[in-house]
Structure 1
């Protein structure tokens, strides 16, 4: 199980999903890539994305202290909460 404050890698996430589901790590890794590719595409096009039973993702643009354009991703949890949340 992944701790909430711990930084994790794609490999660790895929390994845990593979163990929990019995699906090979190769297939899980492919699905992981496709999911995040689609999320990234939607956020680039619309600047926000709502995923049912998960939450809303929104991109905010701002200038940092060096006047460089930066992006901030905020995630607002859905009202129903996340499924299987402990």
Structure 2
């Protein structure tokens, strides 16, 4: 297959054995955190609630949402659950 792509076999093996990039590692960690936040709310709420939960956990960075958790406008407090104990 590497011949069809115009890549040497050695180059292909070298590329496949490279460690994951920092971005890939960060996204994998984030994927776990998002799943955990989503499950915390019984898989009911969407991205706004998940984003607010990630902010409360201190997860920051533009790599996952396009906005940071620094301002109250981008990280609203989650609505209170009335009637819950």
TM over 0.5: no
Whose strand fraction is larger, Structure 1's or Structure 2's? 1
Q: TM-score, normalised by structure 1?
A: 0.26
Structure with higher helix content: 2
Larger Rg: 2
TM-score by length of 2: 0.26
